[in-house]
Amino acid sequence: MATKLVIRNVRTMLSGRMEKPILDADTIVAVDGKIAAIGREKDVDTGHATTVIDAKGSSIAPGLIDSHVHPVAGDWTPRQRQVDWIESSMNGGVTTMISAGEAHFPGRARDPVGVKALAITAQRSFDAFRPGGVKVLAGAPILEKGLVEEDFAEMAKAGVKLLGEVGLGGVKSGDEAKKMVAWARKYGIQSTIHTGGPSIPGSGLIDKDVVLEADADVIGHINGGHTALPLPQICALCELSARGIEIVHNGNERAGLYALRIARELRQMNRVILGTDGPAGSGVQPLGIIRLIALLSALGDVPAEIAFCFATGNTARMRNLDQGILEVGRPADFVFIDKAQHSAGRDLLDSVQLGDIPGVGMVVIDGIVRCARSRNTPPAENAPEIVSGGSGGGGGGGH
């Protein structure tokens, strides 16, 4: 039996697309986990719904995407000896996470056979297990010496689609990284490169010359993870590369704002994507993405509706994902948000531009309510309600 979700009474609908960030709509219909219609309630078919959610004047955005995480096994991280960090991030509006390498795996293998085995295992594991319903795209091998082209072909055939942060392993020189990044790209594996000073034992400085020579698809944490490059080098990376400009929560905030300013001056804010770079030495950040949106909007002088695109549609386009954009045919991944109670802002967008974290009232992934009012954000001024059908929330572990 088909499931049909109807969401009505939405105040502001954020599309995730920079070219049209706000939609003229107040209703969404999703069938079997996919968006079937977006528009005004009088113009769409809302009949025979199995679940109806009254947004009650709250706003809705595509589920947020964290472009840079370091998962290990399930919803546990040995880096901070913490469990449930992924499900907790879902309570911060994150519905998709992208691994930049399972670098914290205890005793991580450094030989080619072990590198491949860990990547394939992580890909298989998170494909079958979704903490809180979050889509964790994992299985991102860390480059080590001894890998050959056939290894990349083998991993790609097994389902590996990501390359771990270049520079976290034994491969740190530009020429060696360039060769392996090209092999990965040949077999459809997308790459990210570490940028800045060392973050964990075994990593090292990756400066602009190495980043430019390696030519990875994403300039990982251009604002450092944690230590940033000098601002002239960050400027050069923005100007001389056409690759993704990734700003992370765990990096240098001044450098992140500078990278955003250069991207805006270049009229290339479509290249800006967001990540937390957690778990890390600074911990895990369940609200890292939503905090970063508020920071960049408030201090980077970017309209809030555009800042939301950095963590949704921009990442979707750059990472070749179906989710991240409100559009017919795409996954029904939504976060209901509104200004926090007692915020000085007039509404959601004004409050974010003032630097306030919005309240998350509900999270939906693939048309299924995964949590009601967030346990991590401040309470939203307006919160949605399930008026018929559905379970009213609840995290859940796997698929």
- With contact defined as beta carbons under 8 Å apart, do 61 and 14 qualify? yes
What is the model's pTM?
0.96
Which of these, 263, 249, 253, lies nearest to 94 by C-alpha position? 249
Pairing mode of beta strands 76-77, 82-83? antiparallel
Task: Tell me the pLDDT of the chain (399 aa) as tens digits.
Answer: 799 999 999 999 999 999 999 999 999 999 999 999 999 999 999 999 999 999 999 999 999 999 999 999 999 999 889 999 999 999 999 999 999 999 999 999 999 999 999 999 999 999 999 999 999 999 999 999 999 999 999 999 999 999 999 999 999 999 999 999 999 999 999 999 999 998 766 667 899 999 999 999 999 999 998 899 999 999 999 999 999 999 999 999 999 999 999 999 999 999 999 999 999 988 899 999 999 999 999 999 999 999 999 999 999 999 999 999 999 999 999 999 999 999 999 999 999 999 999 999 999 999 999 999 999 999 999 999 999 887 544 444 454
- Say if residues 239 and 262 touch (Cβ distance below 8 Å): yes
Quote the CATH superfamily of domain 4-62+324-388: Urease, subunit C, domain 1 (2.30.40.10)
Phi, psi of 255, deg, nearest 5: -65, -35
Assigned CATH class of 64-286? alpha beta
User: What residue spans define the domains of the chain?
Assistant: 4-62+324-388, 64-286
Rounded to the nearest 5°, which phi and psi values hold at 76?
A: -145, 140
